[in-house]
């Protein structure tokens, strides 16, 4: 989840650059840009910038943490002791906890995870390890390696995972490091599954470099699955400027904001065969419902951090209405290299509205109420936890695959 909490002071240089850009557009009188729109954009941007700087209170030479532990507010609002830090999948969910669990369910099923198969798994950007706990309770891996770049989150994950699962049949490692440029202990092995849940857009490495690294870490037959944020197909110049400003504040490298066509091309050039790359757009079930949940929940909360999340909800609403960025679920299977049959094999749209207008078949993934179930156990079911209970179990169907 883009989290507007930490702001390295060295980013003020880029903030100044963006402000000068806004002023130039204002004085040059760009045809499709009104003065009020620019002023509003700049006002929102600098409000976010100053609040983020105030909260972080970090020197420019210190490492930046996009999340820390501030996302605990969102979890507490769902009566949960877990520490999810993703945007969630809100097709049927009504709380932050269940939305995050649903997003993990999408990723797990579309990564071809199976309880009876002993996979070697590398999980990137795992935060405090909540997703790791759910995966380890649901699948019996040969080995499971998680990596996060944030010291505070690493400490929490290492404590919970090694204490709770370190004596089982799965070999567990909790690594502190850069997921895009992993340390030697990760590079020395290969994996059948590599996962990245709502985090890859934060990685500092360029997309093509990151995908090449992933391809090299996969075994001869392996699957790379992630949920990610990409740039929409046709953003205007002003939308791009606004989005670039937000990327500074949200800790997202602007270079990672590429359209779907470039995204698939980067995967292809990394080594994945075109026919083995699948993407599904789930934007409609992420941005707008998540923003609505934040605004509804914030009305009854008094903690100071909710003011910042209400600002973030406005950003989410803009993303949802403008289509400037999209949320996709990606699956890339490692296979033999072969050239695409035509440019159309790479250049496709991830926009539901555009596909519908073209008469295409658009899948809207959802969590069915019945099917061939794979249980994903919940550590603290919010209802039972609120009543003093110990926990519960939710489930996802094996057939819940976005691509079939």
Pairing assessment for the beta strands 171-176 and 191-197 based on DSSP bridges: unpaired
Q: What is the CATH number of domain 70-238+254-315+325-335+343-361+368-397?
A: 3.40.50.150
Question: Do the strands 191-197 and 218-231 form a parallel or antiparallel pair, or are they unpaired?
Answer: parallel
- 224-262 pLDDT, tens digit per residue, is 999 999 999 989 998 998 898 888 888 899 999 999 999
Q: What is the per-residue pLDDT across 310-363, written as a single tens digit (0 to 9) for each?
A: 889 999 999 999 999 999 999 999 965 444 333 323 323 334 443 344 343 333
Kindly report the pTM of this predicted structure.
0.73
Question: 108-134: buried (b, 16+ CB within 10 Å) or exposed (e) per residue?
Answer: bbbbbbeeeeebbbbbbbbbbbbbbbb
d(CA 172, CA 150): 18
Query: Which of 67-76, 191-200, 230-239 has the weakest average pLDDT?
Result: 67-76
Task: Show the tokens assigned to 115.
Answer: 């309880």
Q: What is the pLDDT of residues 134-181, one digit of tens each?
A: 999 889 899 999 999 888 888 888 888 876 666 568 899 999 999 888
Query: Where do we find the tokens 């270079």?
Result: 255
pLDDT, average across residues 215-230: 96
Mean pLDDT, residues 388-398 taken together: 37
Alpha-carbon distance of 46 to 38, in angstroms, equals 12
Tokens of 333: 């299977």
Residue ranges per structural domain of the chain: 70-238+254-315+325-335+343-361+368-397
pLDDT at 306: 83
H or E element, residue 225: strand 218-231
């Amino acid at each position: 989840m883009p989290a507007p909490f930490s702001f390295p002071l060295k980013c003020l240089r880029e903030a100044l650059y963006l402000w000068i850009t806004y002023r130039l557009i204002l004085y040059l009188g760009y045809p499709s840009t009104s003065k009020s729109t620019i002023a509003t954009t700049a006002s929102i941007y600098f409000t976010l910038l100053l609040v983020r700087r105030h909260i972080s209170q970090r020197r420019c030479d210190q490492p930046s943490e996009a999340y820390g532990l501030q996302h605990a507010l969102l979890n507490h609002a769902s009566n949960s002791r877990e520490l999810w830090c993703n945007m969630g999948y809100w097709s049927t969910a009504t709380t932050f906890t269940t939305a995050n669990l649903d997003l993990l369910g999408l990723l797990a099923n579309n990564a071809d995870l199976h309880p009876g198969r002993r996979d070697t798994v590398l999980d990137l950007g795992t935060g405090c390890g909540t997703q790791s706990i759910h995966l380890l309770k649901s699948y019996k891996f040969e080995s499971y390696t998680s990596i996060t770049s944030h010291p505070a989150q690493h400490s929490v994950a290492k404590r919970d995972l090694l204490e709770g699962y370190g004596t089982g049949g799965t070999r567990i490692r909790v690594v502190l490091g850069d997921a895009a440029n992993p340390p030697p202990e990760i590079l020395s092995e290969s994996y059948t599954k590599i996962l990245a849940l709502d985090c890859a857009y934060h990685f500092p490495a360029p997309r093509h470099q990151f995908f090449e690294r992933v391809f090299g870490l996969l075994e001869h037959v392996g699957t790379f699955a992630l949920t990610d944020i990409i740039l929409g197909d046709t953003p205007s110049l002003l939308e791009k400027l606004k989005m670039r400003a937000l990327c500074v504040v949200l800790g997202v490298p602007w270079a990672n904001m590429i359209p779907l066509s470039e995204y698939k091309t980067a995967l292809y050039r990394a080594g994945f065969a075109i026919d083995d790359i699948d993407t599904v757009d789930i934007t409609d079930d992420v941005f707008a419902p998540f923003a609505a949940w934040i605004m509804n929940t914030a009305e009854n909360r008094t903690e100071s951090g909710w003011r910042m999340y209400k600002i973030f909800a406005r950003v989410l609403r803009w993303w949802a209405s403008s289509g400037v960025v999209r949320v996709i679920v990606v699956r890339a299977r490692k296979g033999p290299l072969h050239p695409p049959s035509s440019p159309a094999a790479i250049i496709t749209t991830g926009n539901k509205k555009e596909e519908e207008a073209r008469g295409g078949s658009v899948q809207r993934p959802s969590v069915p109420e019945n099917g061939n179930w794979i249980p994903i156990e919940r550590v603290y079911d919010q209802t039972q936890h609120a009543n003093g209970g110990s926990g519960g179990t939710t489930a996802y169907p094996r057939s819940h695959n976005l691509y079939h």
